[in-house]
Chains A and B, each alone.
Chain A
């Protein structure tokens, strides 16, 4: 059993209240930070090697150090709690169980960045979590950890929670900022980056919930100590959302480096595939990352055991590898139709495209339509090449990464499961029977 830095006290009765959270060591990181200079706090986060937990994996400390600091201009820390990547449900868990952990991280982070007002942008569906956070924020104000002159340090901070309205695209940081300004969630062209012109055109850092929460254990133990956990450049612990056909789906905090095979099959974690079935494929980092068949998710192309780290999951690039992404780990058993699943994800991206860029607006529609016809037995061999071609033409031609997110799953599904797509064309009658599934590509244990 690995160390738990975020969720150690998650099952303590009343941990969502200030008093109990404080009794279990809560807000020590704020006390510590306020005795340091803001630059020293940034330095600790840099030393920790923490990489953004929202999906991109960009070093958090470096992102912080990019923030522009013009004289007399307010700057902001905005927490991205718009968790919407299919397969990912860790932030909802963290916020509803440990609201003070996020608030503590927001205070320390805001201090490091010199923000006097900070926002948590939470997806609108999670209004009940917004109420939990608002209650916890009120407690933090009452205890002197928010508001004027925090703990007599001279530093003041206001923290607010802001709900979205139901739009996956608002997880993209510039769309999130537009949304926070009361507009449609259309991503902005970059540059300028938010670090220079973000919320209200002022310097802004946008960080994922888990990244901000992780600042707390980093400050408590020191960046160097934190960096000792994990493997190589994948330092620390990470929350994984396990879902799909697993015996024990749920949220697991892992020290980065656990073998994928152990994560799936060990009783300590997911407990294997449900109903005694075989594993067919895994989408390891949220719906946007390439799907991998069983043999490539358990072992790299070189035959090395694959580990739950940024580097190991991406070993082999997109030819034989994938990405750690947001840690949304979707397992699919032997009865899963890859064509149907790919169509489902394409429908998602078509639905969620903001419509600003033609390649994405039109391309996602094409992908959904052509995949629908393949799944329903009306496709041709040419259609299989067509979706690969459309995906390629979206990729790199949009102002935000939703284009790539829509293209990658399609390209990977055809790359690894082409025979299954072809079977839908050559055997339309069989393929459209209820519950029908192609088993030609199945690797049995």
Chain B
């Protein structure tokens, strides 16, 4: 089943439901709430890279939580996008070590070539630019994270172009990690 974010009530795909069921076995029976963060990650990946209020309600219902318990968590952690995003969310590290190796210049460059401003989407809907704090890859700065992949040493035009070309070539929705085929090569650990 293709997940949807339209007016119809969102539903988790069977693969995602199976993954949630597996996750629930990791915690004591009376501590289902512990699965909230992993399930929010699943929800975000399933429903277009962000968690709408409807999707958050689905998460609450799935885990037997009150909606507020989901809202207060989704607004605390920076990884959850609370409004629609482009096809690829470029999370640019802006913290000290990346700044020392040119993250300011990288951000300006990415704004120029994608047409998106930090915090917003590109006109073609392909990219969202987001500034984030330290990604723990400081020795390979500057760094951008896109979904589960880190793009490192983006201090040359060549490396930046390679990243953008790779992202543009992803025509289909990337296969979600918990689906049977595993990660596509383009999303594997670099």
A→B interface (CB under 8 Å): 83-89, 91-92, 96, 119, 123-129, 131-132, 158, 160, 162-168, 179-185, 200, 241-245, 249-251, 283, 287, 328, 330, 332, 336, 340-341, 344-345, 348, 351-352, 354
Contacts and interface: CB of A to CB of B under 8 A. Distances in A.
Contacts of A341: 96, 99-100
B37 A348 contact: no
25 contacts: A84-B136, A86-B97, A87-B97, A91-B136, A96-B189, A124-B37, A124-B77, A127-B41, A127-B148, A128-B148, A131-B148, A160-B26, A162-B34, A163-B37, A164-B37, A164-B77, A165-B40, A165-B78, A166-B80, A182-B37, A183-B73, A184-B76, A249-B138, A330-B96, A348-B96
Nearest to B138: A243
Contacts of A245: 100-101
Interface in B49-94: 69, 72-73, 76-80, 91, 94
Contact of B36 (A83, A182, A340): A182
B118 interface: no
Contacts of B172: none
B174 to A, nearest CB: 12
Nearest to A342: B96
Interface of A is mostly: mixed
A92 B138 contact: no
A241 B28 CA distance: 37
Nearest to B140: A249
A355 to B, nearest CB: 9
A330 B148 CA distance: 26
Nearest to B145: A125
B31 A89 contact: no
Nearest to A184: B76
B21 interface: no
B149 interface: yes
A119 B35 CA distance: 13
Contacts of A328: 138
Q: Report the contact-size class of chain B (Cβ under 8 Å from the partner).
A: 35 or more
Given A165-B78, A345-B96, A181 B137 contact: no
B100 A128 contact: no
Interface stretch (B9-17, B109-117, B127-135, B157-165): B127-135
Contacts of A163: 37-38, 41
Contacts of A184: 72-73, 76
A287 B96 contact: yes
Across the A-B interface, give the 9 residue pairs with the lowest CB-CB distance, nearest first.
A165-B77, A166-B79, A182-B33, A182-B36, A243-B138, A166-B78, A249-B139, A160-B26, A184-B76
A86 B37 contact: no
B183 interface: yes
A167 B78 contact: yes
Given A84-B136, A89-B139, A165 B37 contact: yes
B141 interface: yes
A207 B119 CA distance: 35
B47 to A, nearest CB: 16
Nearest to B37: A165
B120 interface: no
B95 interface: yes
A182 B138 contact: no
Contacts of B183: 128, 131
B48 interface: no
A183 B70 CA distance: 9
